[in-house]
Structure 1
Amino acid sequence: VCWLAPEQTAGKQKPYMYTQGQAVLNRSFFPCFDTPSVKFTYSATVKVPEGFTAVMSATSWEKQKDNTFVFKMSQPIPSYLIALVVGDIVSADVGPRSRVWAEPCLIEAAKKEYDGVIEEFLVVGEKLFGPYVWGRYDILFMPPSFPFGGMENPCLTFVTPCLLAGDRSLVDVVIHEISHSWFGNLVTNASWGEFWLNEGFTMYAQRRISTEVYGLPYTCLEAATGRALLRQHMDTTGEDHPLNKLRVVIEPGINPDDTYNETPYEKGYCFVSYLAHLVGDQSKFDAFLQAYVNRFKFQSITADDTLAFFLEYFPELKKKGVDSIPGFEFDRWLNTPGWPPYLPDLSPGQQLMEPAEELAELWAADGLNMEAIEAVDIMGWRTYQLVYFLDQVLQKSPLPEGNVERLSKMYPKISKAQNAELRLRWCQIVLKNNLEAEYSKVKDFLHSQGKQKYTLPLYRAMWGGSEATRALAMETFSATAPQLHVNVQNYVKKILGLQ
């Protein structure tokens, strides 16, 4: 249960509270079997002070007199998906079964950014995976101190306000949370040790929807950035780290949150892609996914259930013994740590990656070839192509003297972006190149939000840099600490050697 002081909200006027149940935290909110293996319906009556509104992850709600709200969830869900928010929040319709919720100062931006978008994603999801069973799909834009990207609470996804880029350049991020409506919320991992059943299938579903909406090249490019994150994670921990298995042993007394990493997402995605590769026909595998959801909806299952159903659904593959092909055994996928034995082909993304790689090469050169640089028009590039370009520039940094200043002037679309993914990369480039003239952008970005994924890498970069960037880190942290989530505060203190 998170209690926010007014300065931790966007409006800075009133306090705010929200709950975050995943993985095993709702036991501090209400008595429950706090395990994903048990599902139940619930109802709740919440009385709040005047001037506040309560919302929950429920299929129906009504406001009664005395500022009392009554909620009912008519579908069985595990404890971690029950969520409550109380704050100064308002809503606006953005589709036939969707509205956005936010603090009053953000509601216009949220409506403008998401109007009509959610329904398009839901319709594609239904076409691929079967009916959307939760009734409404609302999105709640959380206060800036919310440390996560999104939380897929049914009927009411919580997301970071960082998704409000002002130009719809990050709307596709909600495809992941929408995909959880089938994988995770409807068919759920029975234990947190098999979290890949939630996240690997959701990554696969997200990329199927993205392929339908944005095409294969763009989806492959996004998947390539995911693969790079997995590579980075495994290089940091060592491939044979026990957390780099799909089936993780969580000992009694260990908090499942401490096992959280890229593996269940990206290695899980590779395993689901491998199953699709075994089938060899996308429409047949799509039909399997629908049958899988239909067979196990409202249940909590194990990987053994999933794989047994796969072999039962494709008896010809079972006959071939696909579960025990040397090097690709299902058992090896689940129980051996390390890099995925099979990687899906992302080569269709090359047509977007190559121009980005070539442009980064040009900017890393000693004498800038401005003619070649000006011949590349990046105005039509979407977020992940720009992200890929900036990741390449970051890898090549520090660049030769003066190059980053020129890059900044040439591409205000990047150096003055409101898109958080671009801002993160630009700040990392500024720090790696000691571009003191733009240190204020790092400070501004860290003042504007407290998402863990953006905050920690920047503090690590500052602390690993020069005297000046270390001073910047201390100064920024002392100014922003009160607006950060307590966990993020503690992580930053660790980086800065303050604890």
Structure 2
Amino acid sequence: MENPCLTFVTPTLLAGDRSLVTVVAHEIAHSWTGNLVTNSSWEHFWLNEGFTVFLERKIVGRLQGELERQFQSEFGFDESLKTAVKTFGDSHEFTKLIPDLRGIDPDDAFSSVPYEKGSAFLFTIEQLLGDPVRFEKFLRAYIDKYAFQSVTTDIWKHELYSFFPEKKEVIDKIDWDTWLFAPGLPTKPKYDSRLMEVCSALAAEWISAPENNLPVSSSLFESMSPMQKVTALGKIRTSGKFTIEKMAALTSSFNLEETKNCEVRFGWLMLGLEVKWVPIIPKALSFVLSVGRMKYCKPIYRSLFNWPEARTLAIQQFQSSRKNMHPITANIIAKMLT
């Protein structure tokens, strides 16, 4: 969690290879987007998180190259945003960038939508304007002007027009109403997909391989970055074509049961839960017992509650461990049972 010039981070970021430091970049960026300039209400939460994700990936681009920034941006759209929209339903109020939260507990609306839809919107605007360097200068000018103030989307939109007077016709062409007020997925930005294509190829290989002739080499998976591994596992999971009979072989081939990277482990657990692989139940229960992040606990418990073979065990564990959980996380999970 971010605080001005002081960040508290979860130990799940300690993967041993510094692969999850993007979260540190995210929380540090909040010192400007979120803390120095703050959204005026929960409806405009994307001004906090969407901007911070966008800046986080700008930092990644500086550290690891623009190709990695493009990949992580596409990952956020394909994996996080699409999953959130699918979970809520593509016509749900909470999938809007600016939702109507009157009479709603903001915790109930919390998801990756303001993070990833907001970041994708900024990515799209930067591409349309065609000058990333100047767009960064605009963001800095906006932050400087509204330091120690709370803002709305209309205020930020006015500043965009003011900073780019010569680009008025370009900005006018942005489909503002759809991006800000329409539910569901927006138009996907144009990303450089070279790193993503590697993940797609590995996923396709495992999805299409017959059960008696599965891939034997793990060299491609081992050469991937942790984020690429997560992406490949996610593509296998969401394909709807991966069979339970392949799960043990994939687990063994990629040594997934031994991984210390929580993101990779989470991707593996969610894949096992998706195909209803019974051996994954105790491993998933153990994971959410030792890791309290809502990012992990909410989807894992949801999958366990919705699986008849796992439901009773999951309810028993949740009820016995609830007192040790963060109250927000515990309350959200409890609502799944009502």
Aligned counterpart for 1:192 among listed residues 22, 27, 42:
42
Determine the structure 1 residue equivalent to 2:151. 301
Residue 245 (structure 2) pairs with residue 395 (structure 1):
no
CA contact (8 A) 1:432 1:465 kept: no
Determine the structure 1 residue equivalent to 2:96. 245
After superposition, residues 341-360 of structure 1 pair within 5 angstroms as: 342-346=187-191, 348=192, 350-360=193-203
How far off its partner does 1:332 sit? 4.6
SS in 1 for 2:38: strand
Q: Residues 335, 433 of structure 1: CA spacing in aligned structure 2 closer, same or farther, 3 A cutoff?
A: closer
CA contact (8 A) 1:245 1:334 kept: yes
CA contact (8 A) 2:51 2:119 kept: yes
Q: Separation in 2 of the partners of 1:332 and 1:375?
A: 43
How far off its partner does 1:402 sit? 4.2
Q: Separation in 2 of the partners of 1:166 and 1:434?
A: 30
CA contact (8 A) 2:216 2:253 kept: no
Aligned counterpart for 1:361 among listed residues 204, 211, 219:
204
Aligned counterpart for 1:446 among listed residues 272, 288, 291:
288
Superimposed CA distance per residue, residues 394-446 of structure 1 (whole angstroms, 9 cap, x where no aligned partner):
2346744642222222222x321122111212222233344444543223212
Q: Separation in 2 of the partners of 1:259 and 1:401?
A: 33
Superimposed CA distance per residue, residues 66-107 of structure 1 (whole angstroms, 9 cap, x where no aligned partner):
xxxxxxxxxxxxxxxxxxxxxxxxxxxxxxxxxxxxxxxxxx
Q: Separation in 2 of the partners of 1:278 and 1:233?
A: 26
Structure 1: runs of 5 or more not aligned: 1-150
How far off its partner does 1:209 sit? 0.9
SS in 1 for 2:90: coil
Residue 7 (structure 2) pairs with residue 162 (structure 1):
no
CA contact (8 A) 1:356 1:385 kept: yes
Q: Residues 402, 270 of structure 1: CA spacing in aligned structure 2 closer, same or farther, 3 A cutoff?
A: closer
How far off its partner does 1:202 sit? 1.3
Residue 165 (structure 2) pairs with residue 324 (structure 1):
no
After superposition, residues 409-420 of structure 1 pair within 5 angstroms as: 409-412=252-255, 414-420=256-262
Q: Separation in 1 of the partners of 2:271 and 2:156?
A: 43
Amino acid at match of 2:305: W
Amino acid at match of 1:446: V
Q: Separation in 2 of the partners of 1:248 and 1:466?
A: 34
Q: Separation in 2 of the partners of 1:381 and 1:189?
A: 37
After superposition, residues 113-132 of structure 1 pair within 5 angstroms as: none
Q: Separation in 1 of the partners of 2:52 and 2:61?
A: 14
Q: Separation in 2 of the partners of 1:367 and 1:243?
A: 40
Residue 249 (structure 2) pairs with residue 406 (structure 1):
yes
CA contact (8 A) 1:200 1:266 kept: yes
Structure 2: runs of 5 or more not aligned: none
Residue 185 (structure 2) pairs with residue 339 (structure 1):
yes
Amino acid at match of 1:425: G
SS in 2 for 1:379: helix
After superposition, residues 218-237 of structure 1 pair within 5 angstroms as: 218-228=68-78, 229-237=80-88
How far off its partner does 1:308 sit? 1.8
How far off its partner does 1:161 sit? 2.1
Superimposed CA distance per residue, residues 100-144 of structure 1 (whole angstroms, 9 cap, x where no aligned partner):
xxxxxxxxxxxxxxxxxxxxxxxxxxxxxxxxxxxxxxxxxxxxx
Residue 323 (structure 2) pairs with residue 482 (structure 1):
yes
Amino acid at match of 1:384: M
SS in 2 for 1:378: helix
Say which structure, 1 or 2, has more relative contact order (CA 8 Å, 6+ apart): 2
Q: Separation in 2 of the partners of 1:306 and 1:405?
A: 50
Q: Separation in 1 of the partners of 2:245 and 2:151?
A: 56
Determine the structure 2 residue equivalent to 1:104. none
Q: Separation in 2 of the partners of 1:242 and 1:451?
A: 25
SS in 1 for 2:48: helix
CA contact (8 A) 1:154 1:185 kept: yes
How far off its partner does 1:331 sit? 4.6
Q: Higher helix proportion, which one? A: 2
Q: Residues 448, 397 of structure 1: CA spacing in aligned structure 2 closer, same or farther, 3 A cutoff?
A: farther
Aligned counterpart for 1:425 among listed residues 264, 267, 283:
267
C-alpha RMSD of matched pairs (Å): 2.6
Q: Which has the higher Rg, Structure 1 or Structure 2?
A: 1
How far off its partner does 1:362 sit? 2.6
CA contact (8 A) 2:217 2:253 kept: no
Q: Residues 399, 304 of structure 1: CA spacing in aligned structure 2 closer, same or farther, 3 A cutoff?
A: closer
CA contact (8 A) 1:188 1:197 kept: yes
Amino acid at match of 2:167: L
How far off its partner does 1:196 sit? 1.6
